[in-house]
Structure 1
């Protein structure tokens, strides 16, 4: 990893990785699958101080935890093997989608030029849904209800931002971000205990394997709550997928959830 910036790329299987040395391929859930070896270029999430054994429910959060506890780069971040920060000029004169993934130079320039500590993906806009109604139609909304109770009990100053987000029609999602080491560690120190309390109250094993991954989904919605409450300034980058997104399938699932009550049973 570089001293200036290190971005973990969470993956559970072999996959092409960005060539820029700031990207660190990370095998998540290694403790649950010791027989799977993605090779020496991948850092397993079961080394050092880790929660790799929780990957079945925490998903990419096990990579986030590893970065929090084991990486000392000046800037730290998390992306996914099929979801990256993109250059602002996407696909310009190049058909290779990996050529449109943001480089170290561009990311550091955005941080230095704007004097900010946080880079985020562009917001997702739900248009016909609020953050709360979308989650209620697609997953189990008692997870949000219980999280609000936890915030009220432990850090009530965050409740107004939580309530505002629930009524909003957009949010920063995907658990993708790049932050200064200080902000990164501050966020993790706040978020992980909250998710731990939530899983104590709603055991992930009470759901099927897809539903059990709810801690990662709830944590996605906590990011804006933390940023907005603390009034932290950020810069947004586009999101790029190395694979074409099936928007028809994705949109159909969204509409079926809203109008037919069909909750998500898999990722799109």
Structure 2
């Protein structure tokens, strides 16, 4: 049982027991600390610039033998409590100055006892616009169209959930972060990567900058939420995510103010 901590560089902060670092994009990223890598066994490490942390997720799907598994980032971890979204976390840090990563034992116990099926990031309101509008403001609309076409072709029963999610003002659990059983993850990954590989067949990223080339990581965040919405019977535990790089008080205050403006902006 482990939480894989996805990273593309050495991690400075010590990791708690049960948290295992994995270097992603290992075909081209240096590995001075000799972490486990995403380019062994069955893998898509070479696609890391387009798939981001999902090359780590693919490795977990195809190679991990753990009973329960999770995905965190080198600087993003699940807080020990659910106190709300990132703005709540900023306020907590401003007041207390500290945060604690939830123990892997707690996460595993929740899954083993069937108390929850998935532990995921507390949902965030991206802004006051529908999620479809929010995506195309920052990315390319055609990529959502290709994704819808792929779902229609491969999993048409998910199409209503996809449309409902993207055209609502619902919140979204970000970062592709989770903890669940390997069995649950395998089921989700088969669905997710079948869709993404189909989208990839119809995508031309030649004109995309480095940020926009991270397309399949961005799509994965949305699709994870579609999956959770579609499986409405799942018992989900939300946890606040904290960022170990959030140490500047002025920046945190600014984030809180901007977050409030986004919520009420029309």
TM-score range normalised by the length of the shorter chain: 0.7 to 0.9
Q: What RMSD, in angstroms, separates the aligned Cα atoms of the two structures?
A: 2.6
Gaps of at least 5 residues in structure 2 are 83-91
How do residues 123-162 of structure 1 correspond to structure 2 at under 5 angstroms? Answer: 123-162=123-162
How do residues 65-214 of structure 1 correspond to structure 2 at under 5 angstroms? Answer: 65-88=58-81, 95-97=97-99, 100-112=100-112, 115-169=115-169, 170-214=171-215
Alpha-carbon distance in structure 1 between the residues aligned to 2:177 and 2:32: 22
Cα gap change, 1:80 to 1:149, in 2 (>3 Å): same
Aligned to 1:13: 9
Aligned to 2:18: 22
What is the SS of the residue equivalent to 1:216? helix
1:229 lines up with 2:220 in the alignment: no
The Cα shift of 1:111 comes to: 2.9
Alpha-carbon distance in structure 2 between the residues aligned to 1:201 and 1:142: 10
Q: Select the residue among 54, 58, 71 that pairs with 2:47.
A: 54
Q: Contact 1:9–1:80 (CA<8 Å) still a contact in 2?
A: yes
Aligned to 1:39: 33
TM-score for the superposition, normalised by structure 2: 0.84
What is the SS of the residue equivalent to 1:21? coil
The Cα shift of 1:114 comes to: 5.4
1:53-81 C-alpha deviation (Å, 9 max, x unpaired): 11011111111011111111111111111
Alpha-carbon distance in structure 2 between the residues aligned to 1:18 and 1:194: 36
Alpha-carbon distance in structure 2 between the residues aligned to 1:120 and 1:213: 21
Alpha-carbon distance in structure 2 between the residues aligned to 1:187 and 1:18: 30
What is the SS of the residue equivalent to 2:206? helix
Deviation above 6 Å: which 4+ runs of structure 1?
none
TM-score for the superposition, normalised by structure 1: 0.84
What is the SS of the residue equivalent to 2:107? helix
Q: Select the residue among 233, 238, 241 that pairs with 1:239.
A: 241
1:212-261 C-alpha deviation (Å, 9 max, x unpaired): 11111001100121122222221111111111174547949x97xx99xx
Alpha-carbon distance in structure 2 between the residues aligned to 1:126 and 1:209: 22
